[in-house]
Amino acid sequence: MTQRHPIQNDQMMLVTTITKGRIPYFADPAIAREAVEAIYRTQHLHAFFLFGFVIMPDHCHILINVPPPETISMVMKSYKSSVVFSAGLGPIWQQRFHILLPTDPWKALDYIHLNPVRAGLVDQIIDYPWSSGSGKWDVSVME
């Protein structure tokens, strides 16, 4: 099923996608790594600007800008399919995803990076390996 949002591209978007039943698939480090790597594979297929992300045990947040002619629906469909295929899992995602259009991208990025700290998974942003806040992953430079 394709999801049609009124905003499809050319804006900064904070996208959240959740696993079906909130099952913590990404608590497994191998699957979490696949979820991160799938972001970059998707970026090669559908050009977009990546500003930050976090892969939580049962959901993902991605701060992204998708220039035309690509759309956020195409990007998310490709991303979710890539995770399922590369992790060798069945359908793990809720069908839909949520978009916020942040007025302050820096606050949105802080929200993403602080997610594992607020959840009690780590004490510091840099200690959570499945986030752009760890410094271990390449992201676009925000202008």
Structural domain includes residue 6: no
Structural domain includes residue 77: yes
Structural domain includes residue 22: yes
Structural domain includes residue 101: yes
DSSP 76-101: HHHHHHHHHHHHT-S--B-S--EEE-
Q: What residues pair up with 104 in beta bridges, in sequence order? A: none
pLDDT at residue number 118: 97
Structural domain includes residue 3: no
74 phi-psi bin (left φ>0, alpha ψ -120 to 50, beta other): alpha
- pTM summary value: 0.90
The pLDDT of 24-39, averaged and rounded, is 97
- Give the total number of structural domains in the chain: 1
The pLDDT of 111-135, averaged and rounded, is 96
pLDDT at residue number 90: 85
Q: Residue 121's domain spans which residues?
A: 12-134
Residue 23: which of 91, 96, 97 has the closest Cα? 91
Structural domain includes residue 7: no
- Is the pLDDT assigned to residue 10 strictly greater than 80? no
Structural domain includes residue 118: yes
Structural domain includes residue 142: no
Q: What residues pair up with 17 in beta bridges, in sequence order? A: 60
CATH (domain of 91): 3.30.70.1290
Burial category of 112 from C-beta neighbours within 10 Å (exposed 0-12, middle 13-18, buried 19 and up): buried
pLDDT digits (tens, 9 = 90+) for 74-97: 999 999 999 999 888 889 999 899
Contact 111, 100 (CB under 8 A): no
